[in-house]
């Protein structure tokens, strides 16, 4: 079982059901969860001096897509080392390559993983 005690995770996801499910799984593993439902809200939270151990980032978002959010994080000198995992239903090779080239630590395809498997991936990366 993962233990995210002391870890601050920003979940950037517009799917309410998936957000609730993932938030519950992460909180059950002692993470502190922050949620943004669109790209602009995520950027605002990150720029407002919020420090996150991990940003779990969807690509298809209202107002600003996940690639733009990732570019914004990487452009900020103080935030550029923030660990970002892309969690998207986009799984085309060019999407994965773009995400990794922009600085995502990992690209996970939602449809291929259960919430428990997503938590395991996060645990592996944060260790």
Concatenated DSSP letters of 22-34: HHHHHHHTT-EEE
3-state secondary structure of 67: helix
pLDDT digits (tens, 9 = 90+) for 27-42: 999 999 999 999 999 9
Task: Identify the CATH assignment for 8-126 out of 3.40.50.2300, 3.40.50.12780, 1.10.10.10, 3.30.2180.10.
Answer: 3.40.50.2300
- Indicate the pLDDT class of residue 57, thresholds 50, 70 and 90: very high
Segment (H or E) for 6: none
**Cα separation, 67 vs 51, whole angstroms:** 20
With contact defined as beta carbons under 8 Å apart, do 76 and 103 qualify?
no
List the structure tokens of 71. Answer: 């570019």
pLDDT digits (tens, 9 = 90+) for 62-76: 999 999 999 999 998
pLDDT at 44: 95
pLDDT digits (tens, 9 = 90+) for 101-110: 999 999 999 9
Is the per-residue pLDDT at 48 higher than 90?
no
**Cα separation, 110 vs 71, whole angstroms:** 21
**Where do the structural domains in the chain lie, given as residue ranges?**
8-126
Is the per-residue pLDDT at 1 higher than 80?
no
């Amino acid at each position: 079982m993962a233990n995210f005690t002391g870890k601050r995770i920003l979940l950037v996801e517009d799917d309410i059901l998936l957000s609730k499910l993932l938030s519950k799984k992460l909180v059950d593993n002692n993470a502190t969860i922050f949620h943004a439902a669109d790209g602009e809200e995520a950027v605002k939270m990150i720029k407002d001096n919020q420090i996150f151990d991990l940003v779990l980032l969807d690509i298809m978002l209202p107002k600003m897509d996940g690639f733009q959010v990732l570019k914004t994080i990487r452009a900020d000198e103080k935030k550029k080392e923030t660990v970002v995992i892309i969690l998207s239903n986009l799984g085309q090779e060019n999407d994965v390559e773009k995400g990794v080239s922009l600085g995502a630590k990992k690209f996970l395809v939602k449809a291929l993983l259960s919430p428990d498997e997503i938590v395991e991936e996060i645990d592996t990366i944060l260790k």
